[in-house]
Chain A
């Protein structure tokens, strides 16, 4: 097998040393970083499928995201963004009053691997900063993540603030995280919601008129 195929397997097997070693090798031997990125995407796509089918759990997702992020760090400086077709731009953050980012970071890794441009606002993001970021980056989608119960209210406040700023029809809103369920969705009224990272990626694609869910 070529190192290109091997790196896909290493990611899917969560074999961190091998995956990182192969990435270094490919960079050194002059493989186009876009090609490396493509292989990582292939690996992460399989990882996402395994999560949805119940073979992988959060622990495996966290490890896969960690491997993916480390490879991205290596190739990012050489990636010429203009050569990569973006699937869309997403502004994402953990809402005010909540500092949990495990879920958000898994989703970001999966979304990046799918070819979305991500603007990560970090954690404990007040509604005002979401609004400013929408003005500045004009994203297709804004994603709000949360784990705490108190964040249900912040998520609603953020969506309301976006509406008050007259931006609600300019972006699609997706909410995700541990406390997101049917009642949260009814209360916050986003365009999409989920408590499952891999499903979140599919919903983002759907929101942008892509693949059917």
Chain B
């Protein structure tokens, strides 16, 4: 008899939790990073997936059940961290951290391009870095980061907030509040339904590396890197200033997050830096954010994007067993060697394998990888980024099959 959803929930949760805490579960867990694949699998356009909560929720549920990984998919969305940080202290709780389709329409977010708007109906959304802060403005940011965000960054990064205090801007914020409630309710309902169907949550919180905030939302990646050579001290001071707001955000978030909630931190600039620059400009403020989250009882779930091979040792500076490390292009075998006893490793096949591979190749990949990284536990398999919209379904199915075959302890 196949297990009930309740039994499945317990079994999967135990599997994921044991691996997270560096132990051996019954088999290697597989995370359901379905992303836009949920839309494609259920015949939705990317536009529908990002604008219609009900259709999107149904697609996520169907895809999660059809493929039966250990955790479910989710509705894709972009970050709205400038808002969350700008409204701290005045706004009770936390202002939403996400931009979805309707929010994009309401605010006119310039750093985002959405399908059916700036892009064709069936493209994934895009995050477009721009220079929203001039290099001359570092001092102003450092002096009062929150004020800078409210008065300069929001009006520059949202078409409908261009003229703060205008009727247009006030109406946009009013509508944004309403929409955010709708979207939060839809998400809450989706999570509850997924739990009911036997899927535990993997992460429930969110945070950010301070310098990434400056690179992604304010200066643009290329500019912030040039700044590290041209105005190094200002870059460091700005990261500290923004870091103060991020720490405060974490403290507010922790009040409503159960102990042990995993807080996702996607890193962007990490692979651009040499170890020397990483240690000088990026790591100190990120480390502070990570340690603070741990003190608050959360588990930082850090996504080291791109190649992180050169910085693996820095992870050893974090308390053992208190963080989870997801890698994209980093050599997972090397990661296992360096941090395998210290932080749970999450990683797996690149998007290209789902698109261009075959089930046999997926199995070959999984078998080879698990032989090397499975021993001793502390490993979770996950798509390197997420499963791309145009993945071949047979490859998505083959992944779980291969783990069931080669991932048992």
Contacts and interface: CB of A to CB of B under 8 A. Distances in A.
Interface string B109-128: 00000000001000110101
A59 B350 contact: no
Contacts of A187: 352, 355-356
B167 interface: no
Nearest to B388: A149
B355 A59 contact: no
Interface string A166-185: 00000000000011011110
B196 interface: no
Given A183-B352, A184-B356, A99 B388 contact: no
A165 interface: no
Contacts of A56: 274
Interface string A142-182: 00000011101100000000000000000000000011011
Contacts of B230: 16
Interface in B334-366: 350-353, 355-357, 361
Contacts of A181: 329, 350, 352
Interface residues of A, number: 30
B409 interface: no
Contact of B388 (A54, A55, A102, A150): A150
Contacts of B128: 99
Contacts of B352: 152, 179, 181-184, 187
A186 B273 CA distance: 30
A183 B225 contact: no
B229 interface: yes
Nearest to B356: A187
Contacts of B377: none
A57 B126 contact: no
Which among A16, A62, A99, A150 has the highest number of chain B CB atoms within 10 Å?
A150
A110 B281 CA distance: 26
B389 interface: yes
A42 interface: no
Nearest to A67: B229
Contact of A58 (B123, B272, B350): B272
Contact of A186 (B126, B272, B306, B356): B356
Nearest to B361: A183
A153 B273 contact: no
A182 B329 CA distance: 12
A15 B362 CA distance: 47
Which among A57, A66, A152 has the highest number of chain B CB atoms within 10 Å?
A57
B274 A60 contact: yes
A97 interface: yes
Contact of B351 (A57, A99, A152): A152
Given A97-B123, A149-B351, A59 B310 contact: no
Nearest to B282: A59
Contacts of A66: 226
Interface string B353-384: 10111000100000000000000000000000
Contact of A57 (B123, B226, B272): B272
B263 to A, nearest CB: 25
A195 B271 CA distance: 13
Contacts of B361: 183
A204 interface: no
A149 B391 CA distance: 11
Contacts of A97: 119, 123
A181 B356 CA distance: 11
B127 to A, nearest CB: 10
B229 A63 contact: yes
A188 B119 CA distance: 24
B351 A59 contact: no
A62 B356 contact: no
B277 interface: yes
B247 interface: no
Contacts of B274: 55-57, 59-60
Contact of A150 (B124, B229, B271, B353): B124
A57 B277 contact: yes
Interface of A: 14, 16, 54-60, 62-63, 66, 97, 99, 102, 148-150, 152-153, 178-179, 181-184, 186-188, 195
Please name the 8 residue pairs, one residue from A and one from B, whose CB atoms are nearest each other, closest first: A187-B356, A183-B352, A184-B352, A58-B272, A149-B351, A57-B274, A149-B388, A59-B225
Given A59-B225, A59-B277, 11 more contacts: A14-B229, A57-B277, A58-B273, A59-B274, A63-B226, A97-B123, A102-B221, A153-B355, A179-B352, A181-B350, A183-B361
7 contacts: A58-B271, A59-B274, A99-B128, A102-B221, A149-B355, A152-B355, A179-B351
